[in-house]
Amino acid sequence: MQETGDGERARTLAYRLGNALTVRRLYASDNPALARTLDQLAGEVQGWFRNPDLHELSFCLLEKGLSVAGVPLLSLPDVMERLADQMRQRSIEIVTVKRGVTSAELETLLGLLNTSVVDLTAVDVEQWLRSRGADHLAVKHLELANRTVVRNMRELYAHGKDALGRQMKQAGDKGTVDLSAMADIASMLDLVLRSDVPVATLLALRGRDDYALNHSMNVSLLASAQASALGLEEKLVRQISIAGLMHDIGKSTLPDSLVQKTTRLSATELRLLSSHTVEGSRILLRTQGSDGLEAIVAAEHHQPWTQEPHLASQLVAIADAFDGIRSLRPFSDRSSLRMALRFMLKGLRQRLNPWLVQRFCVMCGMYLPGDVVELTSGERARVVAIHPELGSRPTIEVLETGLGTAPPGSVGDLSAAHLQHISIRNEPTLAFHDLTAEDLDSLG
């Protein structure tokens, strides 16, 4: 698949940083080769910051690859893979470069990533950067305060999957679960919610092994992220996170051959699989310490929004559908992310609350300022502002019409009533057109 403009720019930036990391390791600070490389890197960074709405650039370590400025990158060349390895060895999940960063600060970042892992063992990396004047740089380890359970996203997922696996087994054997264990996982996921990297990016390339366990972790994170973005109280956000972890607990009562089946299910198998909602609710109602919301979500997360399920159930349903789509049609760049979100808006409008899906599109960054798009009216335009609630209807500035270059200031808000007949044209990136709601049902 050919990479989009977003992907090409992000790959170039990651390549510049990876190449500079290698050159910094080979040459002294006063070597002209290093100076040239730093100038190239600084120029690439400043090119991104020409967008007045962009204040930070983040390099995020994913399961297999990097996310750069919100764009996940697959199949990294050697120089970029070494950059990812240097971050991984130091348990650095996120490197953030802020507007105003200097070449000297970028060299400091290269020095950090080239510093021996042993020498960094007992070092406060943030303080290490501050003491060297790198005020426009930040790193995140996603470590738990005063705890050593997990240090980063990979360990968080491994720990969460282990805990979920134990609860699935306990639910199957005893018909009950330990919600305190799930509360611990929810506390860990709260670290991700406080990260400045888009949640969808953090999840984009998570491994697909142990689908059911990874899926529950992803649903929990995406549902609680939506709840947080809606401004719900912290206690309710945490409850929704736990409910997301437990939404499929009823599958513990079903045969493994059915739950793990990868081919299309028969009508009989689909009916049996659908019973996991009722069984999950029963298990959670029998569980000590439950406030009832987990059982409600387990029972309702496949109900159409028109039947007015609980808000928590609707948020989990959106997260459930999104992660299922990523399993059936893996995507790795923003263009294909847009196609997946567009499928949710159109193909699942009978099932998912359209207002909440639009808010989900905002959260995922369906469109961002600076994106160049084609309109159904045949015009070429640039996104200049995002609607706070309608992720698919940004404000755009027309660049070109069928008659040539548009005059400056040709701005239109696609959420306005008089422009409802115009939308952004579908990008033909991946074949989502043949994806159906029934395909998602086969995943449970």
Q: pLDDT tens for residues 48-74?
A: 988 887 788 888 877 667 888 777 776
In which element (H, E) is residue 43 found?
helix 32-48
**Residue partners of 354: CB distance under 8 A and separation at least 6:** 345
Contact 28, 94 (CB under 8 A): no
Instruction: Tally Cβ neighbours within 10 Å of residue 313.
Output: 25
More confident residue, 223 or 77: 223
Q: How confident is the model at residue 147 (pLDDT cuts 50, 70, 90)?
A: very low
Percent of the chain clearing pLDDT 90 (strictly above): 37
* Residues 59-113: tens digit of each pLDDT: 887 766 788 877 777 677 888 888 888 888 887 878 889 999 999 999 999 999 8
Read off the tokens for 144.
Answer: 């738990």
The Cα–Cα gap between 219 and 252 comes to 17
Helix (H) or strand (E) holding 130: helix 125-131
List beta partners, residue 108: none
- The answer to whether residue 140 scores a pLDDT higher than 50 is yes
Cα torsion 326, 327, 333, 336 to 10°: value is -60
Q: Pull the structure tokens for residue 19.
A: 């190449």
Q: Which residues pair with 61 in a beta bridge?
A: 66
Q: What pLDDT does residue 290 have? A: 78
Q: How far apart are CA 365 and CA 152, in angstroms?
A: 24
Residue range 341-361: average pLDDT?
A: 93
pLDDT over 70, % of the chain? 87
Give the number of residues written for the chain.
444
Instruction: Write down the pLDDT at residue 284.
Output: 92
Confidence bin at 296 (pLDDT 50/70/90)? very high
116 residue type, one letter: S
Identify the band that residue 116 occupies on the pLDDT scale cut at 50, 70 and 90.
confident
Quick one: average pLDDT of 288-294?
84
Please say if the pLDDT value at position 397 is more than 90: yes
Residue 305 has pLDDT above 90, yes or no: yes
Q: Which of these ranges, 19-33, 156-170, 235-249, 328-342, has the smallest mean pLDDT?
A: 328-342
For residues 76 and 332, the model is more confident at 76
**Considering the chain, what is the average pLDDT of its residues?**
84
Other Cβ atoms less than 10 A from the Cβ of 181: the count is 18
Task: Please state the pTM of the whole predicted model.
Answer: 0.75
Q: Are 203 and 229 in contact (CB under 8 A)?
A: no
Quickly list DSSP for 255-284: -HHHHT--SPPPHHHHHHHHTHHHHHHHHH
Q: Are 66 and 73 in contact (CB under 8 A)?
A: yes
Residue 145 has pLDDT above 50, yes or no: no
**pLDDT range class, residue 6, cuts 50, 70, 90:** low
Tokens of 394: 């940004």
For the cut 60, the answer to whether the pLDDT of residue 373 exceeds it is: yes
What is the C-alpha to C-alpha distance for residues 211 and 165, in angstroms, rounded to an integer? Answer: 11
Mean pLDDT on 290-307 = 93
pLDDT at 2: 37
DSSP codes, 307-342:
G---HHHHHHHHHHHHHHHHHHS---SHHHHHHHHH
Rounded to an integer, the average pLDDT of 390-405 is: 91
Q: Which two tokens stand for residue 24?
A: 């910094």
The C-alpha atoms of residue 415 and residue 427 are separated, in whole angstroms, by 20
Residue 122 has pLDDT above 80, yes or no: no
Which of 5-14, 207-216, 233-242 tops mean pLDDT? 233-242
Beta carbons of 425 and 373 less than 8 angstroms apart? yes
Residue 196 has pLDDT above 90, yes or no: no
CA–CA dist 187, 11 (Å, integer)? 33
Helical axes 78-89 vs 103-114, angle rounded to 10°: 70
pLDDT, residue 197, reads 58
pLDDT tops 50 at residue 144? no
Residues 6+ away with beta carbon under 8 Å from 8 = none
| Cα Dmax for the chain | 72
Place 351 in a pLDDT band, splitting at 50, 70 and 90.
very high
**CA distance linking residue 264 with residue 270, whole number of Å:** 9
- The three-class DSSP label of residue 348 is coil
Contacts of 227 (CB under 8 A, 6+ apart): 236, 237, 240, 241, 312, 315
Instruction: Enter the CATH code of domain 153-363.
Output: 1.10.3210.10
pLDDT at 335: 76
pLDDT computed for residue 281 by the predictor: 93
DSSP string, 204-246: TT---SSHHHHHHHHHHHHHHHHHHHTT--HHHHHHHHHHHHH
Which of residues 394 and 437 earns the better pLDDT score? 394
Listed ranges 91-95, 177-181, 302-306; the one with the highest mean pLDDT: 302-306
Strands 372-374 and 380-385: antiparallel
